[in-house]
Structure 1
Amino acid sequence: AAALFLLSFILFAAPLIEQIPVAALVGVMFMVVIGTFAWTSLKIMHKIPMTDALVIVIVTCVTVYADLAMAVVVGVIISALAYAWNAASRIDARTGVSKEGWKVYRLSGPLFFGSVTGFQDLFDINTDPDDVVVDFMDSRVVDHSGLEAIDALASKYVAAGKRLHLRHLSRDCQKLLEKAGNLIEVSVLEDPDYEVAVDYGDKFETPQKSS
């Protein structure tokens, strides 16, 4: 009903609307704002994540400064960037033991300046054996901060009389290590070669190798 009345006013009753004083319209808009503003959001600002609170404040300011459509676009962009950052900064590791008796940390997630702190908290240097392997099968080093984090971790293991090894580095990660020069004081393990068995009926042959 409100939409139909508004449409009729715009199409047919525009001269009548022009007779309404602007001061009266301002009063009406004040009542609309008071009625539509989510006052409960002020009570939960300290309970919700900081990112959500920041989005609420920014969207409100953009709405006042520009318009609601622009505020919605800005809010969506900020929320998407915040989600991408939180997803990218998460790094985890599964632990295991290799056939040599070395402890293996298999990383999951990118190693960059946003995940350096989480990366350092994954390792238990005091209880780890003399040889520790960091497996990058599901991870990659993105920037120089990641290299510095590896170097700092290696220094801690060296101080404890232990050795740190890297495995399954991608080609771009290896290039970063080469450019780093003497920064990284760890050994890079070569990926093992696995023989591919082919069934030829009553016997198996290994015609080729793959890495």
Structure 2
Amino acid sequence: QLGQFGESGQPGWAAGTFLQGSILDVAWIATDQLVMMIGLVLLTMAIIQYLPLLTTTIPSSLAAIIVVSLTVLGLNIDTKVVGDVASIAGGLPEFSLPDVPFNFATLAIIFPYAVVLAAIGLIESLLTLRLIDEITETRGNGNRECLGQGLANTATGMFGGMGGCAMIGQSMINVNAGGRGRLSGITAALSLLAFILFASSLIEQIPIAALVGVMFIVVIGTFEWSSFRIIRRIPRQDAFVLITVSAVTVFTDLAVAVIVGVIISALVFAWNHAKEVRVEKRENRFGSHYYTVHGPLFFGSTASFSEHFTPRADNKDVVIDFADSRVCDHSGIEAIDSLAMRYKRNNRTLHLIHLSPECKKLLKKAGDMVELNVVEDPKYFVAVESAKWDELQAAEV
């Protein structure tokens, strides 16, 4: 919303810096207009905040927009209105398929943008659904919403329109005005259509400041202010993810922010679980060195896993028990194979117990060292490349 306080098409104050092009890079309007616009924004916010204390007959957001619009018209205040930004007048669309060549070159251009826009739309719709569910204490169907959104956007494209999604701001305004069912959303859509067709000149007289004030109230009500209170009490990595995703959202877009957050969270998860692998060593009554592995064995923990074993110093017979562990990916399989070769080079007999049958199939060098126990062995699958799995299946046939 900061862009509404600036001159469109003009270079902002951050031109030439790393902030250029961000939402903070605004070419501010003249001081007197800026002060007046801020005053109208504050008036809008005050009406929305305090009118419900007097009456709930009319939605406070609608009342604020009407009061501020009449104030601007009555006092002839020079401020930016909707019509200064763009005209919203229009008519009913006609059916028309996009006039583009249907070939691979066209698909190569369109597909990346389609994926990004679809990701942004679905993410924001699901975030909105979750937020509204929490506020209204209901439970929506995410799959149904995503399917409906996809069908609607497909139909919109056939009429020359742009795709859309559920919006947190508009949904919050709807809920705060008392809307709870789908009828409220349908009414809002039909009302917007009516305004575009029959009352565009009236809508274009609404001050931008009134709309900005409404959105500021939505932001204040939506933001989790408790995050500031708990940020020192939550793990540092969680706080880092929270701050990073918030910053990336501001400077880029929601899709990039979510991807960055997922990558950071995955790396943090791998780092934390890499330190959870423990190996206990003892000598059993048969004179064998008996290792018990605890924790998941995956790409992040293989180095720590290998460091616990000393083939040269171990007895001739060695047992490694995986009852309290789980091999999660192909890196874990490779680590076991590598360990088996180390013991083989040192003329040690290695026994691997409590591995799943799938692990035995995937182990190339240590497969013969796995001792199967149908009753006690766990049953799980290892995440491997599909090509490797196809090779194994073909070998069995």
Scaled to the shorter chain, the TM-score interval is 0.5 to 0.7
2:56 is the alignment partner of 1:5: no
Measured after TM superposition, the shift of residue 115 of structure 1 is 2.0
Q: Percent identity?
A: 31
SS of corresponding position for 2:320? strand
Structure 2: which 5+ runs fail to align? 1-44, 53-58, 81-207, 377-397
Measured after TM superposition, the shift of residue 134 of structure 1 is 0.9
* 2:345 paired residue number: 159
Which amino acid is the alignment partner of residue 10 of structure 1? S
Which amino acid is the alignment partner of residue 165 of structure 1? H
Measured after TM superposition, the shift of residue 10 of structure 1 is 2.0
Pick from 49, 52, 59 the counterpart of residue 246 of structure 2.
59
Which amino acid is the alignment partner of residue 62 of structure 1? T
CA-to-aligned-CA distance 1:20-48 (integer Å, 9 cap, x gap):
846x968xx8xx99xxx9xx9xxx9xxx4
SS of corresponding position for 1:139? strand
Higher helix share: 2
The answer to whether the 8 Å contact 1:59/1:75 transfers is: no
Q: Hey, what's the Cα distance between the residues in 2 that align with 1:91 and 1:108?
A: 6
The answer to whether the 8 Å contact 1:96/1:104 transfers is: yes
The answer to whether the 8 Å contact 2:355/2:372 transfers is: no
Measured after TM superposition, the shift of residue 184 of structure 1 is 2.5
Which amino acid is the alignment partner of residue 293 of structure 2? L
Which amino acid is the alignment partner of residue 370 of structure 2? V
CA-to-aligned-CA distance 1:29-81 (integer Å, 9 cap, x gap):
8xx99xxx9xx9xxx9xxx44x74344222222145557xx999879866865
Which amino acid is the alignment partner of residue 170 of structure 1? S
CA-to-aligned-CA distance 1:111-134 (integer Å, 9 cap, x gap):
222321121122233432222211
The answer to whether the 8 Å contact 1:63/1:71 transfers is: no
The answer to whether the 8 Å contact 1:111/1:139 transfers is: yes
Q: Hey, what's the Cα distance between the residues in 1 that align with 2:49 and 2:375?
A: 74
* 2:294 paired residue number: 108
Matches within 5 A, 1:28-47: none
Pick from 340, 358, 378 the counterpart of residue 172 of structure 1.
358
2-11 or 103-112, larger mean C-alpha shift: 2-11
* 1:139 paired residue number: 325
Distance 1:52 1:127, change over 3 A: farther
Q: Hey, what's the Cα distance between the residues in 1 that align with 2:242 and 2:283?
A: 45
Distance 1:79 1:97, change over 3 A: same
Structure 1: which 5+ runs fail to align? 195-211
2:299 is the alignment partner of 1:117: no
Matches within 5 A, 1:63-102: 63=250, 65=252, 81=266, 85-86=270-271, 88-89=273-274, 90-102=276-288
Q: Hey, what's the Cα distance between the residues in 1 that align with 2:281 and 2:244?
A: 42
Which amino acid is the alignment partner of residue 4 of structure 1? Q
Q: Hey, what's the Cα distance between the residues in 1 that align with 2:361 and 2:367?
A: 15
CA-to-aligned-CA distance 1:137-182 (integer Å, 9 cap, x gap):
12233333222211211222233343322112222222323xx3xx
Q: Hey, what's the Cα distance between the residues in 2 that align with 1:153 and 1:91?
A: 16
Pick from 173, 188, 192 the counterpart of residue 370 of structure 2.
188
CA-to-aligned-CA distance 1:74-101 (integer Å, 9 cap, x gap):
7986686566545654322222222211
Which amino acid is the alignment partner of residue 189 of structure 1? E
SS of corresponding position for 1:95? strand
SS of corresponding position for 1:123? coil
Which amino acid is the alignment partner of residue 101 of structure 1? G
Distance 1:75 1:145, change over 3 A: closer
Distance 1:109 1:12, change over 3 A: same
Distance 1:112 1:130, change over 3 A: same
Query: How many aligned residue pairs are there?
Result: 175
Higher strand share: 1
Q: Hey, what's the Cα distance between the residues in 1 that align with 2:49 and 2:333?
A: 64
| TM-score after normalising by structure 1 | 0.58
Which amino acid is the alignment partner of residue 64 of structure 2? A
